[in-house]
């Protein structure tokens, strides 16, 4: 959007506007290419990941949600959670959120 506004405000000082027309065509071409690549990207990704682009959940919230879900699955199967640094960090983060 900004390049098109800047181009409209551009004054080349000449009556010949061929440079401005060429720049307009170039910007429109780049915009169409950008739109085409966006459509191709969203058509080729797995649709289950679409929520990661448009969701409001932050990365730490998503990680904690996955951790709590996995912990519940393991508890229902009778297994324990591995004592790794990442599980301790996430557990601390969950405790901190419950206190706050």
Distance separating alpha carbons of residues 51 and 91, to the nearest angstrom: 25
- Report DSSP state, residue 14: S
Same domain, yes or no: 71 and 37: no
* Residue 14 included in any domain: yes
51-80 per-position pLDDT tens digit = 777 778 888 888 888 877 776 666 555 544
Per-residue model confidence (pLDDT) at position 39: 93
The model's pTM: 0.47
Asked if the structure places residue 49 within a domain, the reply is: no
pLDDT in tens, 13-66: 666 677 778 888 888 899 999 999 999 988 898 888 777 777 788 888 888 888
Residue 50 counted as domain residue: no
On whether residue 7 sits in a domain, the answer given is yes
- Please name which of 32, 7, 2, 5 lies closest in space to residue 20, comparing C-alpha atoms: 7
Q: In Å, what is the CA distance from 39 to each residue of 2, 19, 29, 42, 47?
A: 22, 30, 15, 5, 13
Number of domains comprising the chain: 2
- Determine the pLDDT at residue 81: 47
In a shared domain, residues 6 and 35: yes
| Residues 93 and 72 both lie in one domain | yes
Full domain range(s) for residue 72: 56-99
- Contact between 34 and 64 (Cβ < 8 Å): no
More reliable by pLDDT, 24 or 4? 24
User: In whole angstroms, how large is the CA radius of gyration of the chain?
Assistant: 26
């Amino acid at each position: 959007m900004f390049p098109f506004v800047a181009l409209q405000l551009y004054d080349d000082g000449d009556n010949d506007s061929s440079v401005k027309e060429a720049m307009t065509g170039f910007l429109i071409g780049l915009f169409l290419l950008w739109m085409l690549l966006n459509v191709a990207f969203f058509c080729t990704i797995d649709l289950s990941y679409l929520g990661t682009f448009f969701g409001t959940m932050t990365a730490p919230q998503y990680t904690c949600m996955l951790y709590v879900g996995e912990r519940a699955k393991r508890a229902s199967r009778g297994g324990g959670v591995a004592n790794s640094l990442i599980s301790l960090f996430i557990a601390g983060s969950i405790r901190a959120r419950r206190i706050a």
